[in-house]
A and B are shown apart, each in its own frame.
Chain A
């Protein structure tokens, strides 16, 4: 979902960690072999290969790792239950790095490994390039978190093979809707985000939405530090000087933790409200010692501690914690949904039979399809964009963790917070009836 093309100065990482892929293929083969022992009836079924592209290096590596882990968890679960139409799933993992190299690896997955579909893609800088390639290669591509947006506008409104994530700016829009509800009387707002498309788009969208609810609000400062900055003390001095009533921040990686820590050290949130649209991506690093209660915090599309969470979510969180010693972030939900919806689409297109359907039939079956994901029911809009819920809420220390969680939990659907197919973002926001 984040435009990372500037973030990965990546001739350095042009070569993917092949040993990882090989190791993984080995593991997948081993698990397939294990399955043959326990379910000989399906052993005849040749494994169905699914390609996965996952970021492994740089600032988005933790997000990429989370998506891959969830996909592996899904594959293990599906294989235990008999695979898809009796065929065990075999994942073929490649690295997502810069657009050029990722496109090459994508082509290899389809042309050489002959995968049935490709899952993954996080950086919009990369997925903007993958979209046309997916169309060209006529193989379904289901993107975890990448869009084909240029800024806030769609570049591929009617794709056939490409299935894309939610629009990049949705979490900023949700935060803009919730800000006036929780922070009444806000007159001045300062903003900080990363200096690339996602940071700028979120800030513009947030301003547009907030202006609709609080017409006389003033935006007094905007800061866009580069990705990878680890010292925000000077930025915080500028934010203090702005004397804004509220700080809006769209950081989503380690920088969210750092700014929280450095802001706490000078008591910034004693006098200022805070909105962190996306910091739930690193939620378990937001320790109580430096993250105050009372901030608006966004978890994107999955809140691991959702009191209304399904048994599936609870099982996933428990097993993820046991295996990785972390609590899962939202990317797991995007990845699980993609894989699960692909399985459901294959089964739907097979119409109850065992015959493996054509790729085009799978794509047709995906359109409008709704399945149970980790966060609840999620679906594909007819124009191939994910529909789901966004989770945001007010930070609290009242929990058994050493980091903050949210209470109350606000759940806002993309039906409310994402521009409809074909709409222009700002026209759409300005047309809201409030």
Chain B
């Protein structure tokens, strides 16, 4: 029994770890720029594909398998720079427009990214072969747990702590929070909104691409993988509260663990259960568990 509980909880937390990174990217961008970035799932997929390629080059160059996570994470972070291109090249032109235009633009990015991925990596699923098992397995209360899953969970936690530190303990964080709170006032006090927006969007993108890169050894990259995750990320932000990082953290845990419990008990209810929670939150606490802005 305890073995089953460990399996269910750990698989839920593993799922939550990835979900958190994508949802956190969504949150940080919405919190500051008030843009609901539909493309966050595409950035996740892009990170996954770039991760596969980076690990492929690393392996071909004879790098020790045990260190593959280094080029993987670096590639995931580096490709976050695409966020800067999207923000400066596209979004910066629609900040003054209606929110619907911004939403449509990020949706256009979703479609363009899917085609770009297909053109670059082809249509077949891509994976890092057996590297997932390089770190072996450990045993916890009778359950076999892949060590890599624990690494992903730890990495996600570390990133959550780092973001918390960045937003609350640094000058950049204070500026970001001030901008999120009142952008006109921040601008009046001398904050260069252009720079803040560019940095925040790149940060949000990098969280998604890093999430995609980190998950890839455990799965396979498919061009539509982002669309599947974005639906769950929406549930996370509604439960946690739009724009709240703490909300992303708790929301991801709620969705990840509930999904896992549902699959183990009443698999037919997997989505129903998550959306019941979403509806309950919307009815009883429309701003979400930690939300500042009305949803």
Contact = CB atoms under 8 A, between A and B. Distances in A.
Interface of A: 9, 12, 56-59, 61-62, 64-65, 222-226, 228-231, 233-238, 240-241, 253-254, 257-258, 261-262, 264-267, 282, 285, 287-290, 326, 402
Contacts, number: 141
Max chain B Cβ within 10 angstroms of own Cβ: one of A62, A266, A285: A266
Contacts of B15: 231, 233-234
B132 A261 contact: yes
A262 B127 contact: no
Interface residues of B, number: 47
Contacts of B260: 233-234, 237
A235 B225 CA distance: 17
A266 B124 contact: no
A402 B129 contact: yes
A224 B123 contact: no
Interface string B125-163: 101011011000100000111101100000000000000
Given A265-B146, A266-B137, A285-B220, A233 B124 contact: no
B228 A254 contact: no
Interface string B90-128: 000000000000000000001100100010001111010
Contacts of B118: 57, 61
A64 B270 CA distance: 31
Nearest to A257: B220
A289 B130 contact: yes
B7 interface: yes
Max chain A Cβ within 10 angstroms of own Cβ: one of B110, B130, B145: B130
B11 A62 contact: no
Nearest to B1: A241
A266 B263 contact: no
B191 to A, nearest CB: 37
Contact of B130 (A224, A231, A240, A287): A287
B263 A56 contact: no
A234 B8 contact: yes
B242 interface: no
Interface string B211-248: 00001001111111101110000000000000000000
Nearest to B146: A265
A230 B225 contact: yes
B11 A234 contact: yes
B12 interface: yes
A289 B225 CA distance: 24
B222 A238 contact: no
A103 to B, nearest CB: 22
Max chain B Cβ within 10 angstroms of own Cβ: one of A9, A289, A326: A289
B164 interface: no
A228 B137 contact: no
A381 to B, nearest CB: 32
Nearest to B227: A228
Interface string B39-52: 00000000000000
A9 B224 CA distance: 11
Given A264-B133, A285-B220, 14 more contacts: A62-B125, A225-B270, A230-B220, A231-B215, A241-B264, A253-B125, A253-B222, A265-B133, A265-B144, A265-B218, A285-B127, A289-B133, A290-B133, A326-B124
Given A234-B263, A265-B132, A228 B145 contact: no
A206 to B, nearest CB: 18
B14 interface: yes
Given A226-B228, A228-B227, A234-B263, A261 B7 contact: no
B7 A62 contact: no
A230 B222 contact: yes
B170 to A, nearest CB: 33
B144 A290 contact: no
Contacts of A235: 263, 267
A226 B122 CA distance: 23
Contacts of A262: 218-219
A286 B118 CA distance: 21
B259 interface: yes
Nearest to A12: B111
Given A57-B118, A228-B222, A257-B220, A267 B137 contact: yes
Max chain B Cβ within 10 angstroms of own Cβ: one of A59, A222, A234, A289: A234
Contacts of A56: 123
Nearest to B48: A230
Nearest to B231: A226
A62 B123 contact: yes
A234 B7 CA distance: 8
Given A230-B219, A233-B149, A254-B222, A238 B263 contact: yes
A225 B15 CA distance: 15
Given A228-B228, A285-B125, A234 B132 contact: no
A231 B217 CA distance: 11
Contacts of A241: 4, 7-8, 264
Contacts of A237: 4, 7-8, 11, 260, 263-264
B264 A238 contact: yes
B228 A229 contact: yes
A156 B222 CA distance: 34
Given A257-B125, A265-B132, A285-B127, A234 B259 contact: yes
Interface string B242-265: 000000000000000001100110
Contacts of B18: 231
A61 B123 contact: yes
Contacts of A229: 228
Contact of A238 (B10, B144, B221, B267): B267
Max chain A Cβ within 10 angstroms of own Cβ: one of B12, B123, B143: B123
Contacts of B224: 58-59, 228
